[in-house]
Amino acid sequence: MAIKAAVREQVRQRANFACEFCGVSETDTGGPLTVDHFQPKVKSGNDSLDNLLYCCIHCNQYKHDYWPTKPGDSPLWNPRLESLSQYFIELENGLLFPLTTVAVFTLRRLRLNRQPLVAHRLRKQYKAEEARLLTRYRDLTQLSEQLLLQQSALMEEQRQLLEEQRSLLQLILGRK
């Protein structure tokens, strides 16, 4: 039985239109991604929302119909249940560093450090840094404007004080 369009759309929106394994978005790939069964149907998985993931074609293909069946088989990281940060650290060079044995297996199985993903992460890091710097620049510009206004007010106050001082000096000198 095929997954209904409404369920597919719900999975898509829940994933925020991005691969739940690698984070690549529909915008990055130029189109919709795939809906995959975390536990494959051929390995007793079902079409419930809890078992459906939105993922890119590459993660879907690399995962294939993997499901641990024998003792000692490693499970895959389930992005629906556990956050990326529990399993991986994103390094400055764009690589994912695994924190657990499940992460090591998932990283290898899904090839999460494939070059296009590393480039994608580096681009995201660059854009995030650019946004941070632009925000900082905006904040500094606003502070500079506030300082100029304060400086202008202080200069006006100084001008008034100098006028008062001059008037007092004229009064003092005029009395002698």
Predicted confidence at residue 156, as pLDDT, reads 95
Question: For residues 172 and 107, what is the distance between their CA atoms, to the nearest angstrom?
Answer: 87
β-pairing, 88-90 vs 52-55, is unpaired
Q: Does residue 130 belong to any structural domain of this protein? A: no
Torsion angle of C-alpha atoms 123, 129, 134, 140, degrees rounded to 10: -170
Q: Does residue 101 belong to any structural domain of this protein? A: yes
Residue for token pair 């854009």: 127
Residue 49 predicted with pLDDT over 80: yes
Closest residue by Cα to residue 95 from 78, 79, 81, 107 = 107
Question: For residues 66 and 82, what is the distance between their CA atoms, to the nearest angstrom?
Answer: 18
Q: Does residue 137 belong to any structural domain of this protein? A: no
Q: Does residue 50 belong to any structural domain of this protein? A: yes
Q: Does residue 175 belong to any structural domain of this protein? A: no
pLDDT average, residue stretch 124-131: 96
pLDDT tens digits for range 13-39: 999 999 999 999 999 999 999 999 999
Q: Does residue 33 belong to any structural domain of this protein? A: yes
Q: Does residue 134 belong to any structural domain of this protein? A: no
Q: Does residue 79 belong to any structural domain of this protein? A: yes
pLDDT average, residue stretch 141-160: 96
The parent domain of residue 65 ranges over 5-113
pLDDT tens digits for range 51-78: 999 999 999 999 999 999 999 999 999 9
Number of domains in the chain: 1
Q: What is the pTM of this model?
A: 0.78
